[in-house]
Structure 1
Amino acid sequence: MFEQILAPVGESLVLSALLAATPLAVLFVLLGVFRVKAHKAALTSLVLSMLTAVFVWQMPVSQLLSATGEGILYGLIPILWILMNALWIYKLTVVSGWFEVLGARIRRISNDQRVLAIIIAFCFGALLESLAGFGAPVAISAAMLMAAGMKPLKSALVSLLANTAPVAFGSMAAPIVTLAAVTGIDMHTLSQMAGRQTPFVAVIVPLILVFLVDGRRGLRETWKIALVAGLVFGLAQFLTANYIAAELTDIVASVATIPAVLLALRWWKPKTELVFEEAGTDSRIAPLPGAGTVHRGMGATLTEVPQSTRRSTFLSVMPYLVIITVFAVSQIPAIKSWLSSVGSVTFAWPGLNVTDASGKAVAAQTFKLEHLKATGTLLLISGIIVTASYKISFRQALTAYKDTLVQLRFTIVTVMSVLGLSFVMNLSGQTASLGFALASAGGLFILFSPVIGWLGVAITGSDTSSNSLFGLLQVTVAGQAGLDPVLAAATNSSAGVLGKMLSPQNLAVAAAAVGLAGREGDIFRKLIGWSLALLVLFTALVFLQSTPILGWMVP
């Protein structure tokens, strides 16, 4: 048995935490400062973390290798399994020719980049987050923005930043469900608290999106539309999380926001229109043989597709309707129950016997392998349906999948390395040392509580994993410091979403989705300021909620 050590460096928690943070700091510095390619930066940080785990945290080599293997598999399933199938569906739209038609249909809604950033990345992305989660919303919304002509880098930035407000209630409220399980706090109470925090993020995010797309002019000309989107989404989140059900929060919020934005556009439009550049795929994502042909059994080219028929509009958005339908069907109680019973396997990961400093078994030793139930599998089923509907040949579909894997070759290395790093840090005790060091602030803990949540998602790439990792720690320390445990627990989840845009695996997903693998550092540098600024504002909100000023908001 290996028992984690909280303060292995001179018995100092602070020094131990500084050393524990080194692999993660090196990763971000290599990406953001030295512009090292993500897969090389991730491998470097993984090796550094492994060396630190063995020689400082005294983790047995056999268990270290086992922990690394578990992280690598988790990187493959579910994360890469999702990304591979999401990008495959995108490739199928390119093969069939309907990708370009989709761009034309999107521009009929609005030709303004700023408006479509809100509708596609914020609203539609939130709907995908509510059903699928992980990297699917970023990959799919980025592809849709590119279909309408937005440049790849900007598509990645917009999609990543938009994927913040809905994350705490994503995947049918999986983060809140997990948080309730690990803390023992009533799920509805946690949902209420989170529903009184995330709306503040929702109001700000659309304003940042239009600024990202068009700077100060974009904010000046489209702030009303952005504010409508943020207010409606935030209000819907609050009402659903507090009075209906946590699982439905993002579904209700996204479905309510889309018509609200479209209605607002009928009454008010920006003075000028930031028109998309000519639609088309990036040169690094070359169409496969046969692209430009719509496979409707007639061999019609794109120019022959009627540009205003309802049928062509339906066929252009059909892949995304299929995805929504497949995921919605999977959430029907009877089907969801069946998938849970036969669609996943939970087992103790071989070669691991790890306890935390208090002697409790570390949860990360249990691996849940989802096959039929996995988000990636549901996307694969969606892709098969799209292939049949578009009458794409089996050979072309297979070629598209092969090209997807080739495109993702460096991303695969990046994601597996980052998840290996995450599991090594978690199981060796490095992450615990970080968390306990921040938690040792006593009465000032409330200022570090959001940072712990932010750090948890930045490390793991998942709000659910962060809640599993730090949820109980937040509650325990809050009780010792005389703070409200409900506030601290919910803060871990709500603040965590702000770190998702910087998580290395999510950066890799976004870069791969737009054909910019290797430029994760560019995306990181453009987003880190926004992530930290939002974290500061959120910390101020949480501090006020811990005082009589906004303490009435805590259920």
Structure 2
Amino acid sequence: MTWTQVYDPLNNIWLSAFVAFIPILFFFLALTVLKMRATIASFLTVILSFIIAITVYDMPTTMAAEATVYGFGFSFWPISYIVIAAVFLYKLSVKSGQFNVVRSSIASISNDARIQMLLVAFAFNAFLEGAAGFGAPIAITAALLVGLGFNPLVAAGLCLIANTASGAFGAMGIPVIVAGEVSGIDPMTISKLLGLSLPFISFAIPFLLVAILDGFKGLRQVWPVAFVAGASYGITQYLTVTFVGPELPNITSAIVCLVAITLFTKVWQPKEEMVLEVKGNNEELDMKDLSAKKIAKAWSPFIALTVMVTVWSLPVFKKLFAEGGPLSGTIFKITIPGLHNQVIKGQPIVPEATPYPAILTIDLLSATGTAIVFAAIFSILYLRIPFKTVMATLKETIQELSKPIITIMMVIGFAYIANYSGQSSTLGLALAETANFFPFLSPFVGWIGVFLTGSVVSNNALFGSLQQITAEQINVLPIVLVAANTAGGVMAKMLSPQSVAIASGAVGLVGRESELFRFTLKYSMVLLIITGVITYLQSILIT
């Protein structure tokens, strides 16, 4: 028995959109005004969305329940798997005692916390986003900053905001590639258009990060390094997305940025340094003892991580797991009974009636989490970490992340109800009704998509086609709005409940997710509005 989505159940798109927006509005208020724990707020949001799905949208109760369970499943694999593996790897570095060398090697570039933050939260974060994505970069870099002495809340917030520069091209450009698939537009063409806007935002991010960390006084003191970081990253990003494609801009930009900052700080250091006190194990290391061999050994977990996730992202590696490939048997596809292809998408979300698949993929070897696990195994063997320590660290990691994982589970469950019931599409269609103003609001659709799903990839799969169809109806070049869907979505990553839960778990802020949510809210909205203005101008100038 099939069920066709209805996008205007109340016969008034704005009234329908208001009802569809109630769970999101509640979640906002629960975290910001009521200051609820994220676990409770997300659970109540699931209940609200479920009730709206079956009472307002007339979605069969069993389908709504199955969509929720499907979301729960996806939250465990691959998302929670990646987060647990990433935090476990970081903790192994700490337990082995090698993190003191990592910290000292970063300090050898500069003792200044603002410069260290740019190296880790901005550049290294972007590199990991380009190779892995799906929350791992935020978890690892936020934990690294805490190890360097940063306040956990500030560390998590800075890493979430810094991720804005690289989010559009995460995991080897998958968001742009998916946008091309659902819209029928060449990904290279989308990439080039994004190159006209995102590099400017990337250039501004280092200045914003420094200002958040140390105010305008700090910005005056280290603006030359922020300029070098933003310019080297932004220019490289523009050149890569314009002439190479969407797959490598995070990798190339991050490497150039890291090298540029390192070389620049050899000839320039701020007159006043911002030095943080490191709590816990803080063994002082003589800089003369920091041989290349010691530094390489200390960084080996993260070097192994980089190598593994890069290999996992290579086309030749992915072919091993493709249908008919020698390792395709390691991928298990579980269809969700009663939901798979039973929900039918309709116009104008898609050109013609299309079954909505519901398949949970368990990719045992090809998952990004497995790449991180292999990096952890290498680190255990290479650093000779005792088995007892390994098991204690794993137990500690799982215990610390248990509540964030519950939050992630609830958030993804809500996202899947919203997507399968049509609530997400109602919100997008309501904004599309704004006609001539829609180019400005187009990024807001992408923002909603990422807020709901936590993924720019999922957002493009959800709303890419809607953006294209709407563009044709209002006589705007489709590529402008399809690109805006990605650009706007990136601005929600720092605020997405999924990202907030991951960051909170990584730095030990379980139960304080609402503080982190409020920390990033204003920056997300300001950047979103800027993206809307850019898109509106592009809709006029690009014909």
More displaced stretch, 394-403 vs 482-491: 394-403
Paired letter, 2:39: H
Match of 2:236 in 1: 236
Match of 1:120 in 2: 120
Shift of 1:305: 12
Counterparts of 2:289 and 2:27 in 1: how far apart (Å)? 48
Paired letter, 1:178: V
Counterparts of 2:194 and 2:234 in 1: how far apart (Å)? 11
Counterparts of 1:470 and 1:223 in 2: how far apart (Å)? 38
Match of 1:517 in 2: 510
Match of 1:289 in 2: none
Match of 2:204 in 1: 204
Compute the TM-score of the two structures, normalised by the length of structure 1: 0.92
Paired letter, 1:67: A
Counterparts of 2:530 and 2:269 in 1: how far apart (Å)? 30
Match of 1:349 in 2: 336
Match of 1:317 among 299, 312, 315: 299
Could you say what secondary structure the match of 1:501 adopts? coil
**Structure 2, unpaired ranges of 5+:** none
Match of 2:178 in 1: 178
Match of 1:413 in 2: 406
Match of 1:538 in 2: 531
Counterparts of 2:381 and 2:372 in 1: how far apart (Å)? 14
What CA deviation, in whole Å up to 9, does each residue of 1:486-540 have, x standing for no partner?
0100110112100000000100000110011111110111111111111111111
Match of 1:496 among 489, 493, 508: 489
Could you say what secondary structure the match of 1:500 adopts? coil
**Structure 1, unpaired ranges of 5+:** 282-291, 293-300
Shift of 1:101: 2.8
Residues 100 and 279, structure 1, Cα contact 8 Å, conserved in 2: no
Counterparts of 2:298 and 2:434 in 1: how far apart (Å)? 54
Shift of 1:262: 1.9
Counterparts of 2:504 and 2:355 in 1: how far apart (Å)? 33
Counterparts of 1:536 and 1:394 in 2: how far apart (Å)? 51
Match of 1:3 in 2: 4
What CA deviation, in whole Å up to 9, does each residue of 1:331-374 have, x standing for no partner?
34322211344253445432211012336235452433322111
Residues 102 and 148, structure 1, Cα contact 8 Å, conserved in 2: no
Shift of 1:70: 0.6
Could you say what secondary structure the match of 2:360 adopts? strand
Match of 2:433 in 1: 440
Match of 1:455 among 436, 448, 451: 448
Counterparts of 2:338 and 2:480 in 1: how far apart (Å)? 37
Counterparts of 1:278 and 1:304 in 2: how far apart (Å)? 16
Counterparts of 1:243 and 1:308 in 2: how far apart (Å)? 39
Counterparts of 1:232 and 1:93 in 2: how far apart (Å)? 30
Match of 1:36 in 2: 36
What CA deviation, in whole Å up to 9, does each residue of 1:51-101 have, x standing for no partner?
111111111111111100110011111110000011111221222112233
Shift of 1:315: 1.8
Q: Does 1:382 align with 2:375?
A: yes
Shift of 1:278: 2.3
Paired letter, 1:481: I
Counterparts of 1:144 and 1:24 in 2: how far apart (Å)? 32
Match of 1:336 in 2: 318
More displaced stretch, 455-464 vs 348-357: 348-357
Residues 109 and 266, structure 2, Cα contact 8 Å, conserved in 1: no
Paired letter, 1:48: L
Residues 171 and 313, structure 2, Cα contact 8 Å, conserved in 1: no
Residues 179 and 482, structure 2, Cα contact 8 Å, conserved in 1: yes
Paired letter, 1:334: V
Counterparts of 1:149 and 1:363 in 2: how far apart (Å)? 47
Q: Does 1:82 align with 2:75?
A: no
The CA RMSD measured in Å over matched residues stands at: 1.8
Identity within the alignment, %: 35
Counterparts of 1:505 and 1:383 in 2: how far apart (Å)? 24
Counterparts of 1:303 and 1:172 in 2: how far apart (Å)? 37
More displaced stretch, 345-354 vs 175-184: 345-354
Counterparts of 1:307 and 1:349 in 2: how far apart (Å)? 57
1:141-156 pair list within 5 angstroms: 141-156=141-156
Pair 314,412 (structure 1): closer, same or farther in 2 beyond 3 Å: same
More displaced stretch, 423-432 vs 259-268: 259-268
Paired letter, 1:149: G
Counterparts of 2:287 and 2:524 in 1: how far apart (Å)? 43
Residues 364 and 427, structure 1, Cα contact 8 Å, conserved in 2: no
What CA deviation, in whole Å up to 9, does each residue of 1:403-429 have, x standing for no partner?
111101111110000000000000011
Pair 490,303 (structure 1): closer, same or farther in 2 beyond 3 Å: closer
Shift of 1:214: 0.4
Residues 454 and 499, structure 1, Cα contact 8 Å, conserved in 2: yes
Paired letter, 1:355: I
Paired letter, 1:356: K
Match of 1:475 in 2: 468
1:261-300 pair list within 5 angstroms: 261-280=261-280
Residues 142 and 510, structure 1, Cα contact 8 Å, conserved in 2: yes
Counterparts of 1:305 and 1:387 in 2: how far apart (Å)? 26
Shift of 1:193: 1.1
More displaced stretch, 144-153 vs 506-515: 144-153
Paired letter, 1:320: F
Counterparts of 1:306 and 1:73 in 2: how far apart (Å)? 50
Q: Does 1:215 align with 2:215?
A: yes
Counterparts of 1:512 and 1:18 in 2: how far apart (Å)? 32
Could you say what secondary structure the match of 2:298 adopts? helix
Counterparts of 1:305 and 1:186 in 2: how far apart (Å)? 50
Pair 315,234 (structure 1): closer, same or farther in 2 beyond 3 Å: same
What CA deviation, in whole Å up to 9, does each residue of 1:371-407 have, x standing for no partner?
2111111111111111111111223212211111110
Shift of 1:269: 2.5
Compute the TM-score of the two structures, normalised by the length of structure 2: 0.94
Match of 2:365 in 1: 372
What CA deviation, in whole Å up to 9, does each residue of 1:194-253 have, x standing for no partner?
222211210111111101110111221122211221122111111111111321111111
Counterparts of 2:227 and 2:319 in 1: how far apart (Å)? 39
Counterparts of 1:162 and 1:538 in 2: how far apart (Å)? 16
Counterparts of 2:292 and 2:51 in 1: how far apart (Å)? 60
Pair 304,210 (structure 1): closer, same or farther in 2 beyond 3 Å: closer
Counterparts of 1:458 and 1:490 in 2: how far apart (Å)? 17
Q: Does 1:188 align with 2:188?
A: yes
Counterparts of 1:448 and 1:333 in 2: how far apart (Å)? 36
Residues 104 and 285, structure 2, Cα contact 8 Å, conserved in 1: no
Counterparts of 2:96 and 2:485 in 1: how far apart (Å)? 44
Match of 2:478 in 1: 485
Could you say what secondary structure the match of 1:339 adopts? coil
Shift of 1:304: 11
Match of 1:161 in 2: 161
Counterparts of 2:140 and 2:456 in 1: how far apart (Å)? 20
